[in-house]
Amino acid sequence: MILASGPDRRRQEAQSVFDAIGQRTLWVSDAPGGASRLKLALNAFVFALTHGTAESLAIARALGLDPALVIAAVTGGPLDSPYVQAKGGAMLKGDYTASFSVVNGLKDAGLIRDALAGTSIRADLAEAGLARFRRANEAGHGGKDIAASFLV
C-alpha cells in the first residue's frame, strides 16, 4: 500500500504513478507530511505486534512450555493474524533474515518518540519497544529482522 499526501490538484497525476507501482493508495491528507505521520502510527502498531509476539513466546519458554504452543493457541482465533504467524514462525525457526532490520526499527521507534514530543500522548508501548530494539542492537542483532526482538 502506498500512503500519500499532497494537494488535491496533483492527485490524479500522482495516482497514475502510484497505480503502476502499488496495489492500493491511501490518500491521507492534502497537506505534506500526513502520510509520513501515518507511517509512524502504523510502525508503532507493527512494533507492538512484533514485541508482543516475541515476549509471549519468551514467557512461555521461561515458564517451561514450548513457545510454539502460543502460536498454536492463537491460530484461527480472534488474536490470529498473518503477521503474527509470519513473525512468530520466524522467531520459532530462528530465521532473522531482515525484511525490516532492528537498526531500522530502532530509528523509526525513535522517530515515533520524537514526533510525540510536546503532545499529551504517552506512548508507553513505543517507549518499551524502543528500549527492546536498543537491547537487540547492543546484543549484536542490529542487522537482523525485527523478529530478533525475541532474542532479548
Looking at the fold, whether 38 and 113 belong to one and the same domain comes out as yes
Q: Per 3-state DSSP, what percentage of the chain is helix, strand, and coil (rounded to 5)?
A: 65, 5, 25
Q: Residues 6 or more apart from 96 whose CB is under 8 A from it?
A: 90, 141, 144, 145, 147, 148, 151
What is the pLDDT confidence band of residue 135, given thresholds at 50, 70 and 90? very high
Looking at the fold, whether 99 and 124 belong to one and the same domain comes out as yes
Looking at the fold, whether 64 and 23 belong to one and the same domain comes out as no
| Per-residue model confidence as pLDDT tens digits over 86-123 | 999 999 999 999 999 999 999 999 999 999 999 999 99
Q: Give the pLDDT confidence score for residue 57 in this predicted structure.
A: 98
Looking at the fold, whether 53 and 80 belong to one and the same domain comes out as yes
Residue type, 99: S
Which residue range forms the structural domain that includes residue 21? 1-30
Looking at the fold, whether 14 and 69 belong to one and the same domain comes out as no
Looking at the fold, whether 79 and 10 belong to one and the same domain comes out as no
Looking at the fold, whether 82 and 122 belong to one and the same domain comes out as yes
Looking at the fold, whether 59 and 15 belong to one and the same domain comes out as no
Mean per-residue pLDDT for 70-87? 98
Number of structural domains found in the chain:
2
How far apart are the C-alpha atoms of 46 and 60, rounded to whole Å?
21
CB-based contact 57:91 (threshold 8 Å): yes
Looking at the fold, whether 2 and 39 belong to one and the same domain comes out as no
Looking at the fold, whether 50 and 81 belong to one and the same domain comes out as yes
